[in-house]
Structure 1
């Protein structure tokens, strides 16, 4: 009887864990491709197979990473905006899984800051994980010269 109760409890925990993982995996697919930065709505889009941010005046900031890409999100799944040294900063991410059967994945990210009314893109950072979700604050500021 004790074995059956323990097995039942472990099965329930496993189910809850798998459900939590599935929810985390689905979150990036529903994220928004727009972010408000200093009162301007920036839209992430494909520009000649490169990631780009379109400003309301229709000017385009083309980034140094391939399409598709996405905005980094906060723990609620909304586009994340950080503030540092009088600048507002967002991160755009690109994930590239290796072909099967490999489980490896490469990622790139680029921070964009709005400072003194203009947008500036950082250098591109490379990563070895492809998990979308909350990113450490240092990633928002470390790729810029301050």
Structure 2
């Protein structure tokens, strides 16, 4: 009976450890609720799908085609809301897309693209690709470093 209890305890601990490792703190899986609406400065923007691509819709309903496929979402902060960073008095949000990668040595490819409100105009950055499977809180460098200042 003691061995059975020890085995059950060991299995339970192993499963708990696996689930704890599966999601790094502050990160969410791709399948989580997507954040598709954000406020950048005083501008309310949202993301939509158009022909399989991620598109940013501005307050005047004009559209900016992002350099990534749908589905995409804004990066969440620790509370699960859209993470906004301010650099040089410029508000910035980050849009991300994660896709499975067929290459055997890389599980996923994540594309990130920043959106800033500068001099009253919404601008999108270049696309950054990385080998990651999670969408979650990012360092300010990911927001500001994708632009030329």
Same fold per TM (> 0.5)? yes
Q: Would you tell me which structure has more helix in proportion to its own residues? A: 1
Whole-angstrom CA distance in 2 between matches of 1:42 and 1:28: 22
Displacement after TM superposition at 1:43 (Å):
0.8
Segments of structure 1 that go 5 or more residues without pairing to the other structure are none
Residue from 97, 120, 140 that aligns with 2:143 = 140
How many positions carry a matched residue from both structures?
A: 146
Residue from 77, 84, 89 that aligns with 1:86 = 89
TM-score calculated relative to the size of structure 1: 0.82
Segments of structure 2 that go 5 or more residues without pairing to the other structure are none
For 2:82, what is the secondary structure of its paired residue? coil
**Counterparts in 2 of 1:25 and 1:80: CA distance versus 1, 3 Å:** closer
Superposed CA RMSD:
2.8
For 1:75, what is the secondary structure of its paired residue? coil
**Counterparts in 2 of 1:6 and 1:116: CA distance versus 1, 3 Å:** farther
Matches within 5 A, 1:33-52: 33-52=36-55
Residue from 124, 127, 136 that aligns with 1:124 = 127
Task: Show structure 1 runs of 4+ deviating over 6 A.
Answer: 1-6
8 Å Cα contact 2:106/2:131 also seen in 1:
no
- Give the structure, 1 or 2, with the largest relative contact order (CA under 8 Å, sep 6 or more): 2
Displacement after TM superposition at 1:22 (Å):
6.5
